[in-house]
Amino acid sequence: MTGTTWRDHAACRTEDPDLFFPLGTDGTWALQIEQAKDVCRRCPVAEACLTYASAHHVSDGIFGGLTSWERRSIERRKARGRCEPEYPHPATSLAEALERRTTPTDDGHLLWTGVSHVSFHGQRYTGARASFLLAHGREPVGIVRRTCTTRGCVHGEHIADQEMRDTEDVCGSRKGYHRHRARGEDACEACRIANTQEGRRLRATGSTKAAA
């Protein structure tokens, strides 16, 4: 594949390039990063994009669904020999497929280190969906979101689907945001983002297509 072929299929071709170059990591930048990653998640050439960024040591911007610091952390892991090796056989279970794409952290999170999908039995799963399925034994309803504040975490107990956000006050939901407020504490990042997004959605009355 030449350097230009994969770009022709990039999901971000029609997006504002600035979306992929956040200037920070928190607040509205965190929202922007999630938005960019959403585009990457449905990109058919994410793997090629990530390979390109690694091969050219691109130090800025989101490529292949990963921010520059996430790519650096993977590079460091690679250097320490902890990155996904070439496996001689396909994963025998979804849990194994997920394990190959994740690294547990010392403080109890599970970081997604792979590209946008995990494949098992010819099916493609996002890390969050695979993890949700394994943790809850059912398909998630609607979008799966993180309930912890560790970026890239796909720990089964740290993600919730729309149903959980609607019915429980899990973190990463507007209910969670109000639960924090009711307890007089500062809302966590996941809740703040959920609250902002929900507010935006309501204001936009159905359309999230706003000028950058």
# binding residues, ligand SF4 (CB under 6 A): 14
Distance (Å, whole) CA 77 – CA 155:
19
State yes or no: residue 155 binds Zn ion (CB under 5 A). Answer: yes
3-state secondary structure 19-78: HHCCCCCCCHHHHHHHHHHHHHHCCCCHHHHHHHHHHCCCCCCCECCECHHHHHHHHHHH
State yes or no: residue 64 binds ligand SF4 (CB under 6 A). Answer: yes
In the complex, the smallest distance separating the C-beta of residue 45 from ligand SF4, rounded to whole angstroms, is 5
Q: How many CA within 13 A on the CB side of residue 147? A: 20
User: Other CB atoms closer than 10 Å to residue 157's CB: what's the count?
Assistant: 13
In the complex, the smallest distance separating the C-beta of residue 111 from Zn ion, rounded to whole angstroms, is 8
Decide which of Zn ion, ligand SF4, none touches 170; Cβ closer than 5 to 8 Å per partner kind: none
State yes or no: residue 45 binds ligand SF4 (CB under 6 A). Answer: yes
Cβ nearer to ligand SF4, comparing 36 with 194: 36
In the complex, the smallest distance separating the C-beta of residue 63 from ligand SF4, rounded to whole angstroms, is 5
- Which residue stretch of 25-33, 56-64, 121-129, 195-203 sits at the interface with ligand SF4 (rule: CB under 6 A)? 56-64
Is 58 in contact with 51 (CB distance < 8 Å)? no
State yes or no: residue 118 binds ligand SF4 (CB under 6 A). Answer: no
